Amino acid sequence: MATNSAKTDGKTSDAQVAALEAALNGDSLVTGRRPGPRCSFASIIEALPNATAEKIQAAADDEGTSSSALADLLISAGFDITAGSVARHRRRGLANGCRCAR
Ligand SMILES: [Zn+2]
């Protein structure tokens, strides 16, 4: 790529247009229509009995519960999850959250 020094002078090269077209046609970052990776928090919730799942979900929705504390609880129970995944689920519906229904 020789476009590192491209200036925003109103001109675009064919390569730049081609790169954009390729991204727009094949990448979910722009359209947001693809589901992306499965939310690991949701996978755990769905695997739990309803009563337990509701408590875990309530803990996740409680701002007094830290994502790392909740992740630690789940990890100690044998689930494979990270604090980052918990935090992402808590931001569900937002641009930087998972795609679970709010
Ligand atoms: Zn989620």
DSSP conformation letters of 29-96 = HHH--S--SPPHHHHHHHHS-HHHHHHHHHHHH-TTS-HHHHHHHHHHTT----HHHHHHHHTTTSTT
pLDDT band at 65 (very low <50, low <70, confident <90, very high): very high
Give the chain's mean pLDDT. Answer: 84
Domain-embedded: residue 18: no
Centre of ligand 1 from the C-alpha of residue 98, in Å: 5
Centre of ligand 1 from the C-alpha of residue 12, in Å: 39
HSE, CB side, 13 Å, CA atoms: give it for residue 63: 0
Q: What is the pLDDT of residue 75?
A: 96
Centre of ligand 1 from the C-alpha of residue 99, in Å: 6
Residues near ion ligand 1 (CB < 5 Å) are 39, 41-42, 89, 92, 98, 100
Domain-embedded: residue 70: yes
pTM over 0.75: no
Total structural domains within the chain: 1
Domain-embedded: residue 31: no
Q: What is the pLDDT of residue 76?
A: 96
Q: Indicate the DSSP class of residue 17.
A: H
